[in-house]
Amino acid sequence: MGLFDKLAAWLGLKKEVNVLCLGLDNSGKTTIINQLKPSNAQAQDIVPTIGFSIEKFKTSSLSFTVFDMSGQGRYRNLWEHYYKEGQAIIFVIDSADKLRMVVAKEELDTLLNHPDIKHRRIPILFFANKMDVRDALSSVKVSQLLCLENIKDKPWHICATNALKGEGLQEGVDWLQDQIKTMKT
Amino acid sequence: MFSVYSWVLLFQIHISQHSGRLFPDPSGDGGKWLDAHYDPVAGLYTFSSCVDLADLSGDGESRLVAGDLGCGASAMKLKVYRGTALMSESALLDLPSGLVAFFMDLHQPRIPAVAVASGPCIYVYKNLRPYFKFTLPGLEVNALEQDVWQQVREGQIDQLTLKEMLEGIRRKADVPLSVRSLHFLSLETNEMDQFIQLHKQQPIRRQTVITVIGTLKKSTADEDGVSCLVIGTESCDVYVLDPEAFIILSKMSLPSVPTLMDVTGQFDVEFRITVACRNGNIYILRRESDKPKYCIELSSHPVGLVRVAKNVVVGCTDESLQGFTQKGKKLWRTLVPAPITTMASMDLPTRGFQAVLVGLANCEVHLYRDKNLLSSIKTPDAVTSVCFGRYGREDGALIMTTRGGGLMVKILKRTATFDERDSAPGPPPAQSVRLNVPKKTKLYVDQTLRERENGTAMHRAFQMDLSRMRLAAAKAYVKALESSMAPVSSSAAEPLKVNAVVQGLGPSFKLTLNIQNTAAARPVLNLAVSFLYDEKLYRVRTPYLRVPLLVPGLVYPLQTFVECTSDKGVSDIIKVFVLREGRSAPLLTAHINMPVSEGLPLA
Ligand SMILES: Nc1nc2c(ncn2[C@@H]2O[C@H](COP(=O)(O)OP(=O)(O)OP(=O)(O)O)[C@@H](O)[C@H]2O)c(=O)[nH]1
Ligand SMILES: [Mg+2]
């Protein structure tokens, strides 16, 4: 941690990072972000996102601004307009939706090949969500199906999560925080 | 030359487009579909009429409901799939002939019921539990048949008499025999008695069976509006059933047995039922009438029927696909490369896309928009059912089952687009590129206007000039004839023909005149031949020849020699006159174009 960061942390000024939260509709993006917010700011009812919404939450040293994108087919073409601003990506997968694993892979591949992403060392955090559902795929299986081992030029990490209970989320966010702090500024 | 070259070039481009698509893409679909699931041993044996997609739990996730016809040891079942897994299955009593999901009431949450048609019954399932069974009304029973069985019951006739009488009735009756009598007739003699004992006390019933089933919105076009069931039967009838009370709302009759059906509209407003029948015709029924309103006569039997917007697309056994308007007017016909196994519509309202999926016996599924092939998918086995719609949470899912009982799910890519001339065989795309035709000039437009306005006058002027020209030509011809300037004389007195032949290289030429009397019988006398020529160039040995008597029909060669006296390499015309003694005007004239003398005059 540089001197400025230490000073900033001491002053309560935290470094701002923009994070894109992507993934198919119904994968649990909004539910996950809602869990990460302080409990007094959490929403009770979560409805499918229209377009996108901007949410903020803080960790010990960072202040996150999350673009919670809608995963519905007709809104997925909005994603790419925010790639430039994003400094990290959270990609959420419904591990119980085996049928659409190919669709998730297709969208991930499109993302990784986008000119605004392709040549950047942008960290990607995968949440294999809904691990509580019976017959859900393990995070290992999900990373196999999405061929994550092929991502060589970007740091990535996958965790199995249950967004309803908040399980597994902290591990992922800690990893992301470390990645962002080691990134050259 | 240019056009041939450019055609070759276009041809090459065309070829390379094809091969370019073939190699990197083993499924042959142009990378438009994602392979979501394939289970080659799913053990699901079914047809397009027995599959439907519906949100059976009201959780926004659509399920696949299928009436499995079974195969060999596996029995008939009603199966429900969720995503990649079989979610539930229950036994069916009889072979399903059709299956539909429909909203039968207005209860919340909006969960559709499933209706399975088999035999004379419709089994309705709600929340996947049996809910109601509807049986079609019985048909009229042959009175004679009833009498005969009555006599059997009273012990008045024995089994062989019964057999004889039933056979008699079967041969001439207009009301067919019941299934019981038909079964009896198929028995061996030793089995008959037992059969009679078992059945004679029961009343005779004649039942028809359901061949097709569909749904028709009752009064609203809403997606989750209550729907009536529409069924077609082996007795050539079409019934519309009320979804709540299951009473017959409407009955229509057809000239033949329906085999495929499409229903559109609303029962209370206006509807249209398109039925393909076993006689190879398609009939269109409408609200006002209980008889077909339009009829389409096909040249071969229909195997698939799909409605696209207001048109009907029919697949036939002659490997053709044909488009018709809703009034039965034929729009187009195109050939497919193999026999058609099944058809389904591909309707993607969010993208405003409508097309027809055609399953083929050569293990391909083709996608057509009108007569144009948009794309084709290779399948590991021939498909027997195809269904496109929302499955799971995906709107563009294509579900296919194969002959071997496999289940396959493909998902249309979000970015997939279908190009009309994509892979359709036919003219290369460059052919339809507009040529840069120059703009019409003012002069051109003025002329066109003038021509349009003064058409009659211009035509008259043209006709006048044409007549004048003909007159001038005729006058010139007459003059030539009168002055005998032609080598043929048609005068009645001396009908003659002359032709001249020049032989030799020069400077000496031999000139032969062949004279023929063309009259039928009369000989010609007292003729002579003389020559007119440039004396500085030529010398004719005998410038005056007497012609002998000319017998009709014979050719008389008259010969003389011509000497070219010039060594300048020039040539001229020598005129030959056929004369009648004592008259100065020639009878006819021949012009001889003398060749250039190639030899040198003798010194
Ligand atoms: N069982 C289970 N359900 C979950 C989990 N996470 C989310 N859900 C449920 O999944 C549904 C969809 O969650 P959302 O957070 O709205 O999904 P989303 O990714 O934001 O969807 P869009 O906004 O449409 O892109 C909700 O009903 C959640 O309750 C989980 O870990 N386990
Ligand atoms: Mg959301």
Supply the pLDDT for residue B78.
95
d(CA B353, CA B388): 12
Is residue B560 within 8 A of residue B545, CB to CB? The reply is yes
In degrees rounded to 5, what are phi and psi of residue B363?
65, 45
Å between A80 CA and nearest CA of chain B: 14
Query: In this model, does residue A33 exceed pLDDT 90?
Result: yes
Contact status of B456 with chain A (Cβ, < 8 Å): no
Query: In this model, does residue A184 exceed pLDDT 70?
Result: no
Å between B307 CA and nearest CA of chain A: 26
Q: Looking at chain A, which residue has its C-alpha nearest residue B60?
A: A26
At B82-101, the pLDDT tens digits run 999 999 999 998 899 999 99
Q: Which position has the higher pLDDT, B176 or B232?
A: B232
Q: What is the mean pLDDT of residues B401-430?
A: 80
Name the nearest CA neighbour of B162 among B129, B187, B138. Answer: B187
Instruction: Report residue B9's pLDDT band, with 50, 70 and 90 as the boundaries.
Output: very low
d(CA B65, CA B115): 10
Instruction: Report residue B155's pLDDT band, with 50, 70 and 90 as the boundaries.
Output: confident
In chain B, what are the domain boundaries? 144-199, 488-593
Supply the pLDDT for residue B22.
33
Supply the pLDDT for residue A10.
63
Q: In this structure, are strands B588-593 and B555-564 parallel, antiparallel, or unpaired?
A: unpaired
Supply the pLDDT for residue B18.
35
Is residue B133 within 8 A of residue B122, CB to CB? The reply is yes
Name the nearest CA neighbour of B81 among B62, B63, B101. Answer: B63
C-alpha of residue B59 to centroid of ligand 2, in Å: 16
CB neighbours (10 Å) of residue B249?
17
Chain A contact residues (CB < 8 Å to B): 24-26, 73-74, 76-77, 97-103, 106-107, 110, 135
Supply the pLDDT for residue B28.
60
Order of all β-strands in the sheet with B85-91: B51-54, B63-68, B77-82, B85-91
Rounded (10°) angle between helices B159-172 and B189-199: 90
Query: In this model, does residue B543 exceed pLDDT 70?
Result: yes
Supply the pLDDT for residue B333.
93
Query: In this model, does residue B4 exceed pLDDT 60?
Result: no
Output the pTM of the full model: 0.72
Active site residue A44: no
At A61-79, the pLDDT tens digits run 889 999 999 999 999 999 9
Query: In this model, does residue B423 exceed pLDDT 60?
Result: no
Q: Which residues of A are annotated as a binding site?
A: 23-30, 49, 71, 129-132
Q: Which of A132-141, B146-155, B190-199, B432-441 has the lowest mean pLDDT?
A: B432-441
For residue B323, give both structure tokens. Answer: 């488009």
Supply the pLDDT for residue B453.
92
Mean pLDDT over the full length of chain B: 87
d(CA B548, CA B525): 7
Topology of domain B488-593, CATH: Immunoglobulin-like (2.60.40)
Is residue B504 within 8 A of residue B594, CB to CB? The reply is no
d(CA A83, CA B357): 37
Q: In this structure, are strands B77-82 and B496-503 parallel, antiparallel, or unpaired?
A: unpaired
Contact list, B34 vs chain A (CB under 8 Å) = 102-103, 106
Rounded (10°) angle between helices B143-153 and B159-172: 180
Q: In this structure, are strands B330-335 and B320-324 parallel, antiparallel, or unpaired?
A: antiparallel
Contact status of B411 with chain A (Cβ, < 8 Å): yes
Name the nearest CA neighbour of B128 among B189, B61, B54. Answer: B54
Mean pLDDT over the full length of chain A: 91
Is residue B531 within 8 A of residue B482, CB to CB? The reply is no
Domains assigned to chain A: 3-183 (3.40.50.300)
Supply the pLDDT for residue B602.
57
Q: What is the mean pLDDT of residues B257-268?
A: 95
Q: What is the mean pLDDT of residues B232-259?
A: 93
Task: Give the 3-state secondary structure of B511-556.
Answer: EEEEEEECCCCCCECCEEEEEECCCCCEEECCCEEEECCECECCEE
Supply the pLDDT for residue B390.
95
In degrees rounded to 5, what are phi and psi of residue B49?
-70, -15
d(CA A111, CA B407): 30
Instruction: Report residue B477's pLDDT band, with 50, 70 and 90 as the boundaries.
Output: confident
At B179-215, the pLDDT tens digits run 888 888 888 888 888 888 888 888 888 889 999 999 9
- For residue A31, the ligand 1 atom closest to its alpha carbon is 15
Supply the pLDDT for residue B519.
81
Is residue B349 within 8 A of residue B363, CB to CB? The reply is no
For residue B321, give both structure tokens. Answer: 């696909």
Supply the pLDDT for residue B425.
59
Distances, alpha carbon B342 to alpha carbons B46, B384, B539, in Å: 11, 6, 96
Q: Is the ipTM of this complex over 0.95?
A: no
Supply the pLDDT for residue A90.
97
Name the nearest CA neighbour of B306 among B338, B339, B340, B278. Answer: B340
Rounded (10°) angle between helices B442-453 and B455-482: 80
Supply the pLDDT for residue B14.
36
At B105-135, the pLDDT tens digits run 888 888 999 999 999 999 999 998 999 999 9
Q: CB–CB of B393 and A97 under 8 A? A: yes
β-strand partners of B335: B320
Q: What is the mean pLDDT of residues B148-170?
A: 87
Q: Provide CB contacts within 8 A for B486, sequence distance 6+.
A: B480, B588, B589
C-alpha of residue B415 to centroid of ligand 1, in Å: 25
CB neighbours (10 Å) of residue B479?
10
Supply the pLDDT for residue B3.
38
Dihedral (Cα; B234, B236, B242, B246), 10-degree rounding: -40
The set of protein residues with a Cβ atom below 6 angstroms from ligand 1 is A 23, 25-31, 46, 48-49, 70-72, 92, 129-130, 132-133, 162-164
Q: Looking at chain B, which residue has its C-alpha nearest residue A73?
A: B414
Q: CB–CB of A98 and B35 under 8 A? A: no
Q: Which of B240-249, B355-364, B409-418, B489-498 has the lowest mean pLDDT?
A: B489-498
Query: In this model, does residue B437 exceed pLDDT 90?
Result: no
At B374-414, the pLDDT tens digits run 889 999 999 999 999 999 999 999 999 999 999 999 999 99
In degrees rounded to 5, what are phi and psi of residue B228?
-85, 155
Supply the pLDDT for residue B491.
67
- How far is CA B192 from its chain centroid? 54
Percent of chain B with pLDDT over 90: 48
Is residue A83 within 8 A of residue A117, CB to CB? The reply is yes
Percent of chain B with pLDDT over 70: 91
CB pairs < 8 Å spanning A and B: 47
Nearest CB neighbour to A102, from listed B35, B393, B415: B35
- Look at the block and give the residue holding tokens 């309803």: A164
Query: In this model, does residue B603 exceed pLDDT 60?
Result: no
For a pocket test of ligand 1, which of A26, A50, A52, A139 has the largest count of ligand atoms closer than 8 A to its C-beta?
A26
Buried b (16+ CB within 10 A) or exposed e, B26-60: eeebbebbbebbbbeebbbbbbbbbbbbbbbbeee
E strand segments, B164-236: 210-217, 227-233
At B440-471, the pLDDT tens digits run 889 999 999 999 999 999 999 999 999 999 99
Q: Which position has the higher pLDDT, B174 or B89?
A: B89
Supply the pLDDT for residue B527.
87
Q: CB–CB of B83 and A103 under 8 A? A: no
Nearest CB neighbour to A73, from listed B83, B391, B395: B395
**H or E segment and range at residue A138:** none
Dihedral (Cα; B142, B145, B149, B155), 10-degree rounding: 140
Supply the pLDDT for residue A71.
95
Nearest CB neighbour to B393, from listed A26, A77, A135: A26
Q: Is B153 helix (H, G, I), strand (E, B) or coil?
A: helix
